[in-house]
Structure 1
Amino acid sequence: MIHPQAIVEPGAKLADNVEVGPWSYIGADVEIGAGTRIGPHVVIKGPTVIGEDNRIFQFASVGEECQDKKYNGEPTELIIGDRNVIREGCTIHRGTVQDEGITRIGSDNLLMAYVHVAHDCIVGSHCILANSTALAGHVKLGDYAILGGFTAVHQFCQIGPHVMCGAGTVVLKDIPAYVMATGNTAKPHGINLEGLRRRGFTPEALKTLRQAYKTIYRKGLTTAEALEQLQLLANDEPAVQPLIDSLNSSARGIIR
């Protein structure tokens, strides 16, 4: 399962059925779970932990030290879950001690070609990052978020669960849960209704979320004022709570 032209350093921990293609390099501080397939010309450094049944395509660089100029060789980490697909030329960097020291990627994500995930990012599960999407340091991306190709996200931004960004979106502020956004800079364009339907949200939940969106963006309210009204909606519809949570956790302010 390990090609004779691959380099696996002593100390690396690979499950018995991990595949490693020719000319790939696996560093000493790397742990890779069962069923994961590493293509040719892949570089994986550590400390990095990769779960089960992932697929990493050629020319990806995973677990490299970050590009933050404050980084001084500390043994920070990258942790990747299960069943992720990491396509050609992706770059995923370890964390920094200025944050928690860990970059985290959940499970069941698709990172298309040339995606960059910088230091200290937290990517949820079931996300899609299309070609050449770039996450700067300390970005948080919620579950089921979809970022169109060439999306660029400023450092420390938070993108809530079920968000959808159009191609070429430039994100400089936080995007609340469920919102569709596009443009340079990103502007809101309603609730991601089609995506939520596909994920089993009820018509009643969708109706309430549309009402919640209008409360934030159509009534001229401050965020604090909108939160008071959203809490009333959440009492009857639990799907509103992730929207409330994303507003409460916002440090950069939300897109308008």
Structure 2
Amino acid sequence: MSTIAATAVIHPMAVVEAGAVIGENVRIGPFCHVGPRVTLKDGVELMSNAVVSGLTEIGPNSRIFPMAVIGGVSQSLHEAGEDSRLIVGANCTMREGVTMNCGTVGGGGITRVGDNCLFLANSHVAHDCILGNNIILSNNVMLAGHVRVEDYVILSGGCAVHQFTRIGRNAFIGGLAAVSYDVIPYGMLNGNPGILGGLNVVGMTRAGIERSVIHQVRRAFKQIFEGEGSARANAAAIREEYLDCPQVIEILDFIAAESDRALSSPHRGKN
């Protein structure tokens, strides 16, 4: 039997399967389908023809537009029907045709999306992706499996992100870019193959980072990617110089962390 709050409004032509949990002030439009293991938190709105399935939780005040399919089985070739989950945070918007898949057991069993994220039409979040807060996926953005995207990243229309790639906080990905390698925090990547063209200065400014700090990050960027050694060796060599600059240390930590992908650079797309 479903648990449906008294204040929920469900159109008579919607299907809410037994077992679903429907919170206060949820609105479900006509021709929607809500699966038996779905939880819709307070204030969620499903517009007509939206589908939410799988072991899926949608956070408070999130909105799902027509033809979106949220919580579908992963498209992994290793999918074998095991239990896995999708968790979407609060205040997220999933526009027309958005698809998000549950995780896979081999990838940790969960796909997770943070709060205040915007997914424009036909964007896709594959199995085992981990997304932070305040992220924008523009129209037709494609995230392959196991991608990690940190807070305040903007991915422009039609870009594609290779599986297991990491994208650091406040990075900007240009339209139609092919993201094959990790993108540092505050980085700006464009092209196919994707080239790290510099820093997302506009995003840094909007984030309230002072001009003097941006200059420090620019100087560190040049030392990392224009030095004689590899980017990782250069990053390690300058750490002591920037201990008082959290933004640079964040970049250095990102570069030093283990990863399945190489590092995007201004040169050949990787380093």
The answer, yes or no, to whether TM exceeds 0.5 is yes
Task: Please name the residue that 2:32 is paired with.
Answer: 24
Q: Deviations over 1:23-73 (max 9, x none)?
A: 000001011111111111011012011110101100000000011121111
Task: Please name the residue that 2:128 is paired with.
Answer: 120
Map 1:202-221 to 2 at 5 A: 202-221=210-229
Distance in 2 separating the partners of 1:69 and 1:41: 28
SS at match of 2:196: strand
Unaligned runs of 5+ in 2: 1-8, 266-271
Higher mean C-alpha displacement, 236-245 vs 89-98: 236-245
Task: Please name the residue that 1:182 is paired with.
Answer: 190
TM-score (norm 1): 0.97
Unaligned runs of 5+ in 1: none
Q: Letter of the aligned partner of 2:77 in structure 1?
A: K
What do you get for the CA RMSD once the two structures are aligned? 1.1
Runs of 4+ in 1 over 6 A off after TM superposition: none
Contact 2:225/2:231 (<8 A) preserved: no
- The percent of aligned pairs where both chains have the same amino acid is 37
SS at match of 1:206: helix
Distance in 1 separating the partners of 2:256 and 2:28: 44
Contact 2:232/2:255 (<8 A) preserved: no
Distance in 2 separating the partners of 1:242 and 1:38: 38
Q: How far apart are 1:220 and its partner, in Å?
A: 3.2
1:107 to 86, 106, 115: 115
Contact 2:224/2:232 (<8 A) preserved: no
Q: Letter of the aligned partner of 2:117 in structure 1?
A: N
SS at match of 2:205: helix
Question: Number of paired residues?
Answer: 256
Q: How far apart are 1:236 and its partner, in Å?
A: 1.4
Q: How far apart are 1:123 and its partner, in Å?
A: 1.0
Task: Please name the residue that 1:88 is paired with.
Answer: 96
2:53 to 45, 67, 74: 45
Q: Letter of the aligned partner of 1:251 in structure 2?
A: D
Distance in 1 separating the partners of 2:263 and 2:228: 14
1:251 correspondence with 2:260: yes
Task: Please name the residue that 1:34 is paired with.
Answer: 42
Q: How far apart are 1:230 and its partner, in Å?
A: 4.0
Contact 2:55/2:71 (<8 A) preserved: yes
1:73 correspondence with 2:50: no
